[in-house]
Amino acid sequence: MALIVPSLTNGQLLEVGGAIGGSNFIGDVGSTTFISPNNIAVSGLVKWNRSRRHSFRGSLTYTKLEALDRKSSDPRRVERNYQFAKQIIEISGGLEFNFFDFNTFAGGGESTPYLATGISALYHSNFYFNNGVLVPENTKSWAFGIPIIAGYKTTLTDRLILGAEIGVRYSFSDEIDGSLPDSEKLHDDFSFGNLSNNDWYTFTQITLTYTFGRKPCFCEY
Mean pLDDT on 156-173: 96
Asked whether residue 221 is assigned to any structural domain, the reply reads: no
* Residues of the domain holding 24: 13-212
| Structural domain includes residue 3 | no
What's the domain count of the chain?
Answer: 1
Residue range 21-67, pLDDT digits in tens = 999 999 999 999 999 999 999 999 999 999 999 999 999 999 999 99
| 204 is a domain residue | yes
- Kindly provide the b/e burial profile for residues 53-74, where b requires at least 16 CB atoms within 10 angstroms of the residue's own CB: bebebebebebebbbbbebbee
pLDDT at 221 over 50: no
- For residues 181 and 167, what is the distance between their CA atoms, to the nearest angstrom? 26
pLDDT at residue 11, as a whole number: 44
Cα–Cα distances (Å) from 78 to 37, 38, 81, 195, 201, in that order, read: 19, 17, 5, 20, 20
Asked if the structure places residue 53 within a domain, the reply is yes
Q: Is 187 helix (H, G, I), strand (E, B) or coil?
A: helix
pTM: 0.89
Whether residue 203 is contained in a domain is answered as yes
| 1, part of any domain | no
* pLDDT category of residue 215 using cuts at 50, 70 and 90: low
Asked whether residue 74 is assigned to any structural domain, the reply reads yes
| Residue 7, domain member (yes or no) | no
CATH number at residue 164: 2.40.160.20
